[in-house]
Structure 1
Amino acid sequence: MVPRAAVLLWADGLPGEAGQPAYPELARLTVTVTSRAELELLLLRVRAAEHLHLLEVVEVPAHVRTVVVLGLADAGVLDGDVTLLAELHRLGVRVLAPIHGHGNAAGSGALDRVDAGLTEHGQVLLAELNAVGMVVDAAGASERATVQMCELTRAPLLISHCVLDADCAVPGAITVGQARACAATGGVIGIGTPATAATVGAEDFLALLERAVALVGAEHVGLGAVAPEVLRGLDGTLRARGWSASDAAAVIGGNAVRVARQVLGRG
């Protein structure tokens, strides 16, 4: 199986820059690597690039424009060997989604017809992720597997990109139960726009975001995969809709940083 490294970027202006919000906004880029050598080369390039920093440095200096977080979407790359997590952590990987869409040795995926939940191997994998200090991303896991991860974890979880199934009947949409279980860990659900939607306007996205906040609270909602034009000026847009400065800051990035700070220091 080919490992896939998902690189998340903090972008769009310096904090406090004229005309820009004081909070970095999230953009998503997926980079595919086909070998450990390619993964190491990617990490070397990230470390050498100006204005790029891995999220192992959680406190972002004011002059830094971009922070990169390396993660793996699907634990299949481990081939059942959880001892490889320590090596991946050494190489800079900080986020791992045990299950991504279709089931694997860790458990059932959101696209599977039968939801058998988390396997025994999945439970061992989750415990090791907690132990080494990696963020567990439940995006793409089935409802039962997600709830089980939330019940067993010793650290906050992420569902990095999702929509609520009450809002959008699309494959992989999460249930109210999944959202609340994630929030109960102290975690964050990243609200995005459905991949199946050809166009989703800013107003549609804001409605999705506000319904998620109403369900689990602003302290447990973040940004998922969203078009840059929807994100532009989001802080001002939220404030104009009556959001408090603290809630806007939390959803735009503060909650994700909080989870990173809590989890990355555990290894």
Structure 2
Amino acid sequence: MTHPPLPDLILEPLVRAALLEDLGTYGDITTRTVIPAGTRYTALLQAREAGVASGLQLAALAFRLVDPGLTVTAHAVDGDTIGPGSLLMEITGEAASILSAERVALNFAGRLSGIATLTAAFVAETQGTAARITCTRKTTPGLRLVEKQAVLHGGGFNHRFSLSDAILIKDNHIAAAGGVRPVLQAVKARASHMIRTEIEVDRLDQLAEVLDEGGADVVLLDNMTTEMMIEAVALNAGRLILEASGNMRLERVAEVAATGVDYISSGALTHSARTLDLGLDF
């Protein structure tokens, strides 16, 4: 599935903040010292290993923010499958400008391509099932939007973007409110009809309570064994959406998907993805 790019207006504050952090109080003193003014070059942004591209829009924005006079030519777009040596972007103009934006551009593109690549690996393990891979809120502070976008580029789906998106009742909510039934009764009494509700359970008797009480749209099966998930799917009988979460390692995904759950969520997609090796060379 192709996802349209976000407006640059939304992404610009993220890139601008990263550039300000990197340029410090006095700019790129190395480049200003050793590169004669007016020196022009063409730089190639290339992949050094296979993966799925993401963050290229942010990389291009980094170059343009440093110097609107740079010519940035895209040879790949976010979501493309890439291989070693794939040309992703060509940047032509003042060498000093290219060098000053290089690290920020690579940081975004490498980090986000790593997330997209790991997501694609998870998605591949669900082939032949109806299960979808989704991320969590375990993201880098300030970068949630683009990290979740990278999950989409890898073929996954997005969970909540913030606490205000939906009601997600977790174990601590249940404990503080006095049980499964009281929290669901509170939802039915107080929640807007426009808001969806998910509740976390880690036992089958809790799932039975949820099904009996009503008030939830989605049930999160937390840290259940595969055998318990199979029982949960049978008990649910298609009534509510089921999401499996907790200890969702890549090597376990196919087994979990085969249980019949609708979604598999993993924080590892965003908090443990390895940066994809990309390089910028003149």
Q: TM-score range by the shorter chain?
A: 0.3 to 0.5
Tell me the TM-score normalized by structure 2. 0.37
Identify the structure with bigger relative contact order (alpha carbons < 8 Å, sequence gap 6+). Answer: 2
Q: Please state which structure has a larger fraction of its residues in helix.
A: 2
